[in-house]
Chain A
Amino acid sequence: MNIVIVGSGRTGAFVAELLDQAGDTVSIVDVERSAFKRLPALFKGSPVLGDGTDMDILRQAGVEKADAFLALTQGDNRNLMAAQIAKKIFGVEQVFAKVNDPIRANTYRGQGIFTFSRTTILGTLLHAVIKGDKTIGPNLMRAAMQHDAELSAELPSVTR
C-alpha cells in the first residue's frame, strides 16, 4: 500500500516504522527536520519536509496515489484539516486523524474520516485491563508491550 503520514512525532514515526517493515511504501511529512530523527536508520520510506496542511506538500508526498492517509500531529485541528484535504480534495480511500478531543473526534467520524482519541482509547484499554476483560484488553496490551520490548532491544547497551 502507498501510505502518507503527517507528523513525525512519537506516534507517527512508530507507525511509519511498522508499515515500512511490513513492506508498505511510506511518505512521512513534518515541518521540523529534526523530527525525522525518530525514524529508524533503515527506514526505506521518504521523509518530506513541509506543512502537512499544504496541498502542494501533500502532492509531493504522493497523496494522489495514496491508499491510506494518517494525520498524527499534535494539533487536533491541523490533523482534521490535513485529513479533510486528503479525503475531499484527493479522494484518499482510508483517512485517519488523531483527535484528542473526544467530542470533536465524534463530530468528524460522521464525515468519512476515521478519527480516534488517544484519551478514550487509552482510558478504555486501561479500564478493560483493570476490570479483567478477557479479550481486547490483554491482547492489545500484549502486542503493545511486545513493541516496547523490541524498541528497547534495538538500543545499543552502554559499556563502561
Chain B
Amino acid sequence: MSDAIEINGLTKDFRIGMRGYKLRAVEDLWLKIADNEIFGLLGPNGCGKSTTMKVILGLLEPTVGSCQIYGVPSTSVRSRRDVGFLPEAPYFYRYLSGRELVRFYAKMCGVPKDEIGDRTEDVLKLVAMDEAAHRRVGTYSKGMLQRIGIAQAVVHDPRLVILDEPTAGVDPIGSAAIADMIRSLKERKKTVLLCSHLLAQVEGICDRVGIMNRGKLVLEGSVDELLEKKDMRSLVVEHFPASAEAEVRAVLEKHGAKLASVEAPRISLDRLFLQQTRDSDQLHESEKEEA
C-alpha cells in the first residue's frame, strides 16, 4: 500500500512585490507519512509548515518536487477525496447551524444524498456536538468551533485528516477532548497530520514527529526514538527513604553506573488541571442530585 503522504524534494518559492523578489518558504523537503500514523509537524512560526500543508492540500503548486496523497498527485482534485482538513482558527458560515454546516461540507465532498443524514449524525456524535448541532455556528465557543471543524473534516470519511493547530485557543478540557478525538481517528484507521505548537500534546498523541525550521526539515523520527535518553533509565520507587540513597548509589557504582539525580516525580499541570476540574464537576453533580 502506498504511503498516506509522500513528499519528494519539495521546494516552494513565492514571488513578492513588483520586482518578483523570491522568498523560499520550503526547501528540498523529503517526507513520508505511513498509513494509519499520527504525524506531528512542528516548527516555529514562518518555518514553512503552512506552506507544506497547502501543497499537500493542492492549494499551492510546488516550485520544484512533488507531493502525492495515497499515490495521487496533490495537484489533482481527485487526491482531496481522501483528505479532510481543519484550518487554524476556522471561520465557518456563522448563520448556519452546526448540523447544516456539516451537511454543507458533506455535499461539497460529494457524499451521496441518501448517506448525508447518517454521516452527519455519526460525525456529530464523534465530536460530541450532537446536542449543540441545532445551534447557529456564530454562538459556538472556540472549543465547539474546533470540534465542528473536525466533524466537517471527516464527514466524507477521508483516509487522511490534516489538523492545523486544532487546540489553538482551546482550554485544557477542550484540548484533552480533541486529543481523545484524534486518538479515536487513529482507531478508525485514519492517518492524521497534526500541526501544533502545544508540544506536550503532540508528544502524547503522535507516533512520529518532524521538526521544520527556515523551510527545512531538521529532524524526523518516532517520538520515543527522539525523546528517549538511551544511556539512562529512571526508577520510580514508592516510599523511598532518604537514608537508602547512599546504599543505592553504592550499588549502582559497583555495577559501573552512576545515580544522576533523586527527585519526586511530577504530574503535568495539564493533568492536574483536568483532575481538579473533573473532581469539582463530579462534586457539583452529586450535590445537585442530592438537592
- Chain A bound to chain B: no
> Footprint of B on A, CB under 8 Å?
none
> Footprint of A on B, CB under 8 Å?
none
